C-alpha cells in the first residue's frame, strides 16, 4: 500500500482548518461589511482596524498573515458593498458609461484580491523527499531540451549541465529537440554524447516538439528544460523522491530563476535590489497553490511522470500556454502535482522590453484561450479549490483594461465634470482609503520578500496596453494567435528610447498632465460650485497616475546590454597558476562562460596579457583551465578571460559553476521586506528618471541617431 506523504497529510490538516476558519469568517464578514455607518463612524472604525493591523504586521507567526487578510477583506468588502449599493446613481449617459466602467474594474480588482488571498493563505513550503539509498530503485529519466532558433552559445551550457546531473548513467538519457534542424547542433550532440532529435515539421511549436520526442524516448519520467535553463547537478535528486513516495504524483515543478537582468531590472536599475516580475509567482503563488494541489507545469525546470502524460494525449496543443493547460488536464484526470520552492536551475531573462512584452502577450493570450476551451470553473474533474486557483491565474492576465480605466478615470471629472462615483469626496475617502491602505499593508506583509508593492503597479501598467487586445480577442476566438519564441542571448549595443513601445503611455501621460493643468485652472480661476474637495481628490489620483506613468516611461528607455556572457557572483577557493611555476591561492568573485574575476589571498602585481591557468576544485577533484590575465583591478583583484577550452574543460567549468545549486539558493529570495514609504520613494525616483529620459528624447527631436535596436543573434 502506498504510504501517504507527510506533505499531503500536512496539506489536508491545513485545508480542514482553513475551511472551518473561512466558513466562520464569511458569516462574520457578511455582517460587518454591510453595517451602514456615517463618515465619522466609518473613519473611526477604519482607524481601529488599521491600528490593529499595524500592531500585528511585524509579529512572526503564520497566523498573522491570515488575520491581516481577514482585516483587509473587511475593509475591501465594506468598500465594494458601499460602492454597489450607494454610489451608482448616475445622472447622465456620460456618468453611466464611465461610471459603470470604473465599477467593473473595481469588481475585477476585488475578485483578484480575494482569490489572491485564498491562493497564498498557507504556503506549503514542501521539502524534497529523500531517495532510497539503493540506486537500483531509482527510475529511468529522459531529459528533454527543446530548441528552435536559439544560438548554440546559449544552448551548449544547458546541454553540458544535463550531462553532469547526479543520476545513474544507465538510467539517464538526454535529448536535444531541435526544431531548427541545424547541422552544428547535431555535431555538438554527437561530440557531447546526447541524443539529437528532429522532426519533419514544426507543428504546435514547443508542445509538438516535446510530443514528438515522447514517441522516441522511453524513460519512466521526463524532465523538461528550456534550452537556456541550466540545471544543477542535484536537480533530479531534489525532485524525484516524491514520485517514489506517491504513485499519483504526476508533476514536480521547481522555480524559474534568472541570473541575468530582465528589461525592467536593467532599465530601472533594480537588478538584485528589487524582486523581479516572476519572483512573486515562483516564490509565493506556486507555493500557495501547492497546498490546494493546484501547482501547475510551467514548461521548464519540471519533471513529469510519463504514463499520465501519455494517457492525456501528451502536452496540450490547443493553446499557446501548453504547460498550464497540460497541468489542468492532469489534475482533471485525478493526478497530483507538487512544488519544491528551491531553485534547481537558472536561465536567461529577455534582453529587450519589446521581447519581454511579446513573451507576456503569449502568456496572456494562452491563459485567455484556456478560459475558453477548458474553463476551470466549468470543466469536469477539478476540485473546487483547484478551480479557484486556476481561475485566479487566468483572471490575472485580464488586468489590461482595468489598469487603463484606473489611469483615466479621474480625467472623466476633470475634463467633463462626469461623476463616476456619486458620493462626496469625504465619503469616498472614508471608504476607499481604508480599503487601499489595508490591502497594501497586508500585501507588504504577505508578499514583501517576493514583490515590492508599487513596482507591481509599474510592471502591470507597462504591460496593460499590450495584453488588452490579445486577451479580449482570445476570449472571442481562441484560435487566433500563434506561439512565438522568446529571444534570448541577445545584445542591446547602445542605449535608446523605445518610442514605439512607449507610444500608448506617452498618450496617457499627456492626458494625465493635461488633466492636472485643467484641474488647477478650475481650482484657481473657475467657480467650483462647492466641489473643490472633489477636484482635489481627482487631482491627487491623477498625480499618482502621472508618477506611475513616469516610471513606465523609464522602462521604455533601453539601457546598454553588451555582455554576451552574464556575470554571476560566486565565492569559492581556487588557485591561479602562472607560467613561471608560481601557484597563487585566490578566491573567485564572479564567473561567466567567458571569464572569471578572482581576488588573490596575498597581493601580487600581475601583467595584463599574461597566460596562466585557474585550478577549480569540486568534490575533491581538480582541473586546470587556461586563462589570460586581462585586467589587474587592484592589488589583489584580477579579471581573467578563459582561453580555448576543450570539451572536458568546458564541462568542468559548468560543473564547478552553473551546475552548483548553492549559487542559486543563496541568490534566491534574499530581498529585504518591502515598506510602503520605501516602495513609493523608489518608484518616485524611477519616475523622475523617466521624465528626464523623455526630456532628452524630445530635445533631440525624437532622433535615434545614438541608438541601435537590440541584437538577438540567431534568435527571432
pLDDT tens per residue, range 556-598: 887 655 455 788 999 999 999 999 999 999 999 999 999 999 9
Q: Which three cell numbers stand for residue 91?
A: 445622472
Q: Which three cell numbers stand for residue 686?
A: 524611477
Active-site residue (options: 179, 246, 290, 293): 179
586-630 residue pLDDT tens:
999 999 999 999 999 988 888 889 999 999 999 889 999 999 998
Of residues 339 and 677, the one with the higher pLDDT is 339
513-545 residue pLDDT tens:
999 999 999 888 766 566 888 999 999 999 999
Answer whether 296's CB lies under 8 Å from 328's CB: yes
Look-up of cell digits 490538516: 13
pLDDT value of residue 96: 83
Q: How far apart are CA 586 and CA 599, in angstroms?
A: 5
Answer whether 455's CB lies under 8 Å from 102's CB: no
Q: How far apart are CA 677 and CA 388, in angstroms?
A: 33
Q: What percent of the chain has pLDDT over 90?
A: 66
The confidence band for 483, taking pLDDT boundaries of 50, 70 and 90, is low
Query: Which are the contacts of 24, defined by CB distance < 8 A and separation ≥ 6?
Result: none
By three-state DSSP, how is residue 303 classified? Answer: strand
Scored b (16 or more CB within 10 A) or e, 376-412 reads beebeebeebbbbbbbbbbbbbbbbbbbbbbbbbbbb
Partners of residue 640 on adjacent β-strands? 596, 629
Active site residue 374: no
The confidence band for 691, taking pLDDT boundaries of 50, 70 and 90, is very high
Of residues 122 and 491, the one with the higher pLDDT is 122
Partners of residue 142 on adjacent β-strands? 173, 222
605 sits in the region (left: phi over 0; alpha: psi -120 to 50; else beta) called beta
Look-up of cell digits 530581498: 671
- Residue 23 pLDDT greater than 80, yes or no: no
Answer whether 613's CB lies under 8 Å from 627's CB: yes
Q: What is the 3-state secondary structure (H, E, C) of 19-80?
A: HHHHHHHHHHHHHHHHCCCCHHHHHHHHHHHHHHHHHHCCCCCCHHHHHHHHHHHHHHHHHH
By three-state DSSP, how is residue 338 classified? Answer: strand
Q: What percent of the chain has pLDDT over 70?
A: 90
Specify the DSSP class assigned to residue 281. Answer: I
Please provide the average confidence, as pLDDT, over all residues in the chain.
Answer: 88
The confidence band for 208, taking pLDDT boundaries of 50, 70 and 90, is very high
Partners of residue 45 on adjacent β-strands? none
pLDDT value of residue 5: 52
| Interhelix angle 384-395/322-332, nearest 10 degrees | 170
pLDDT value of residue 451: 85
Continuous H helices in 57-182 = 63-86, 93-119, 152-163
Residue 201: count of CB within 10 angstroms of its CB: 8
Of residues 159 and 356, the one with the higher pLDDT is 159
Specify the DSSP class assigned to residue 506. Answer: H
pLDDT value of residue 419: 85
Lowest mean pLDDT among 9-18, 126-135, 401-410: 9-18
The confidence band for 355, taking pLDDT boundaries of 50, 70 and 90, is confident
The confidence band for 35, taking pLDDT boundaries of 50, 70 and 90, is confident
Among 145, 270, 243, CA closest to 551: 270
Partners of residue 223 on adjacent β-strands? 143, 303
pLDDT value of residue 708: 41
Mean pLDDT on 251-262 = 94
Among 371, 375, 376, CA closest to 387: 376
Active-site residue (options: 95, 246, 290, 323): 323
pLDDT value of residue 655: 96
Rg (CA), the chain: 27
Of residues 10 and 581, the one with the higher pLDDT is 581
Phi, psi of 231 (to 5 degrees): -75, 150
Partners of residue 625 on adjacent β-strands? 614
Residue 48: count of CB within 10 angstroms of its CB: 10
Residue 279: count of CB within 10 angstroms of its CB: 23
642-674 residue pLDDT tens:
999 999 999 999 999 999 999 999 888 777 777
Lowest mean pLDDT among 118-122, 262-266, 514-518: 262-266
Active site residue 323: yes
- DSSP E strands in 278-320: the ranges are 302-305
Answer whether 544's CB lies under 8 Å from 581's CB: no
Lowest mean pLDDT among 134-138, 335-339, 482-486: 482-486
pLDDT value of residue 528: 58
Residue 199: count of CB within 10 angstroms of its CB: 17
Lowest mean pLDDT among 367-376, 408-417, 485-494, 635-644: 485-494
- Residue 550 pLDDT greater than 90, yes or no: yes
Phi, psi of 589 (to 5 degrees): -105, -45
Mean pLDDT on 453-458 = 88
Mean pLDDT on 285-314 = 96
Rounded to 10 degrees, the C-alpha dihedral 245/248/249/250 comes to: 140
Amino acid at each position: 500500500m502506498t504510504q501517504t506523504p507527510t506533505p499531503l497529510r500536512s496539506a489536508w490538516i491545513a485545508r480542514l482548518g482553513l475551511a472551518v476558519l473561512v466558513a466562520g469568517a464569511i458569516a462574520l464578514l457578511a455582517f460587518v461589511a454591510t453595517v451602514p455607518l456615517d463618515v465619522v463612524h466609518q473613519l473611526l472604525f477604519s482607524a481601529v482596524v488599521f491600528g490593529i493591523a499595524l500592531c500585528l504586521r511585524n509579529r512572526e507567526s503564520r497566523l498573522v498573515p491570515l488575520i491581516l487578510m481577514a482585516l483587509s477583506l473587511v475593509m475591501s468588502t465594506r468598500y465594494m458593498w458601499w460602492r454597489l449599493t450607494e454610489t451608482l446613481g448616475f445622472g447622465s449617459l456620460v456618468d453611466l458609461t464611465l461610471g459603470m466602467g470604473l465599477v467593473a474594474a473595481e469588481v475585477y480588482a476585488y475578485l483578484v484580491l480575494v482569490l489572491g488571498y485564498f491562493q497564498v493563505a498557507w504556503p506549503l513550503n514542501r521539502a524534497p523527499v529523500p531517495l532510497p539509498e539503493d540506486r537500483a530503485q531509482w527510475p529511468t529519466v529522459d531529459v528533454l531540451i527543446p530548441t528552435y532558433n536559439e544560438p548554440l552559445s546559449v544552448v551548449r551550457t544547458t546541454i553540458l549541465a544535463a550531462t553532469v546531473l547526479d543520476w545513474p548513467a544507465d538510467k539517464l538519457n538526454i535529448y536535444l529537440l531541435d526544431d531548427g534542424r541545424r547541422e552544428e547542433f547535431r555535431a555538438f550532440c554527437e561530440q557531447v554524447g546526447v541524443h539529437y532529435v528532429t522532426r519533419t515539421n514544426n507543428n504546435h511549436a514547443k508542445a509538438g516538439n516535446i510530443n514528438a520526442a515522447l514517441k522516441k524516448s522511453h524513460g519512466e519520467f521526463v524532465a523538461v528544460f528550456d534550452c537556456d535553463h541550466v540545471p544543477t547537478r542535484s536537480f533530479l535528486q531534489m525532485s524525484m523522491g516524491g514520485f517514489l513516495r506517491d504513485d499519483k504524483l504526476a508533476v514536480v515543478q521547481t522555480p524559474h530563476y534568472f541570473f541575468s537582468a530582465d528589461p525592467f531590472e536593467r532599465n530601472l536599475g533594480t537588478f538584485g535590489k528589487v524582486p523581479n516580475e516572476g519572483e512573486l509567482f515562483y516564490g509565493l503563488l506556486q507555493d500557495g497553490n501547492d497546498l490546494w494541489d493546484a501547482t501547475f507545469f510551467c514548461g521548464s525546470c519540471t519533471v513529469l511522470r510519463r504514463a499520465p502524460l501519455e494517457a492525456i494525449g501528451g502536452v496540450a496543443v490547443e493553446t499557446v500556454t501548453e504547460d498550464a493547460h497540460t497541468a489542468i488536464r492532469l489534475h482533471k484526470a485525478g493526478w497530483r502535482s507538487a512544488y519544491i520552492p528551491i531553485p534547481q536551475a537558472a536561465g536567461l531573462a529577455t534582453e529587450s522590453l519589446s521581447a519581454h512584452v511579446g513573451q507576456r502577450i503569449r502568456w496572456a493570450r494562452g491563459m485567455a484561450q484556456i478560459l475558453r476551451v477548458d474553463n476551470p470553473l466549468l470543466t469536469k474533474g477539478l476540485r473546487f479549490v483547484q478551480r479557484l486557483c486556476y481561475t485566479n491565474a487566468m483572471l490575472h492576465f485580464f488586468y489590461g483594461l482595468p489598469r487603463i480605466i484606473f489611469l483615466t478615470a479621474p480625467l472623466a471629472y476633470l475634463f467633463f465634470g462626469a461623476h463616476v462615483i456619486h458620493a462626496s469626496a469625504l465619503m469616498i475617502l472614508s471608504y476607499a482609503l481604508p480599503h487601499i491602505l489595508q490591502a497594501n499593508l497586508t500585501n507588504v506583509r504577505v508578499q514583501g520578500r517576493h514583490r515590492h508593492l508599487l513596482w507591481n503597479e509599474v510592471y502591470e501598467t507597462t504591460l496593460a496596453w499590450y495584453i488588452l487586445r490579445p486577451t479580449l480577442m482570445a476570449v472571442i476566438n481562441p484560435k487566433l494567435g500563434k506561439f512565438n519564441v522568446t529571444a534570448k542571448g541577445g545584445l542591446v549595443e547602445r542605449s535608446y528610447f523605445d518610442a514605439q513601445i512607449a507610444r500608448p503611455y506617452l498618450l496617457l501621460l499627456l492626458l494625465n498632465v493635461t488633466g492636472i493643468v485643467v484641474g488647477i485652472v478650475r481650482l484657481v480661476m473657475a467657480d467650483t460650485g462647492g466641489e473643490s474637495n472633489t477636484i482635489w481628490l481627482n487631482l491627487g489620483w491623477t498625480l499618482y497616475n502621472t508618477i506611475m506613468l513616469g516610471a513606465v516611461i523609464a522602462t521604455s528607455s533601453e539601457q546598454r546590454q553588451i555582455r554576451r556572457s552574464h556575470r554571476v557572483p560566486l565565492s569559492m577557493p581556487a588557485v591561479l597558476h602562472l607560467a613561471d611555476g608560481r601557484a597563487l591561492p585566490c578566491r573567485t568573485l564572479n564567473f561567466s562562460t567567458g571569464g572569471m574575476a578572482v581576488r588573490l589571498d596575498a597581493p601580487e602585481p600581475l601583467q595584463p596579457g599574461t597566460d596562466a591557468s585557474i585550478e577549480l576544485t569540486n568534490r575533491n577533484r581538480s582541473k586546470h583551465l587556461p586563462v589570460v590575465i586581462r585586467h589587474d583591478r587592484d592589488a589583489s583583484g584580477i579579471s581573467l578571460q578563459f582561453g580555448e577550452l576543450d570539451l572536458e574543460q568546458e564541462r568542468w567549468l559548468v560543473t564547478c559553476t552553473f551546475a552548483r545549486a548553492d549559487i542559486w539558493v543563496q541568490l534566491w529570495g534574499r530581498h529585504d521586506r518591502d515598506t510602503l514609504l520605501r516602495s513609493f520613494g523608489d518608484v518616485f525616483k524611477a519616475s523622475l528618471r523617466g521624465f528626464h529620459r523623455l526630456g532628452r528624447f524630445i530635445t533631440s527631436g525624437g532622433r535615434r541617431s545614438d541608438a541601435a535596436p537590440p541584437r538577438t543573434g540567431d534568435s527571432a
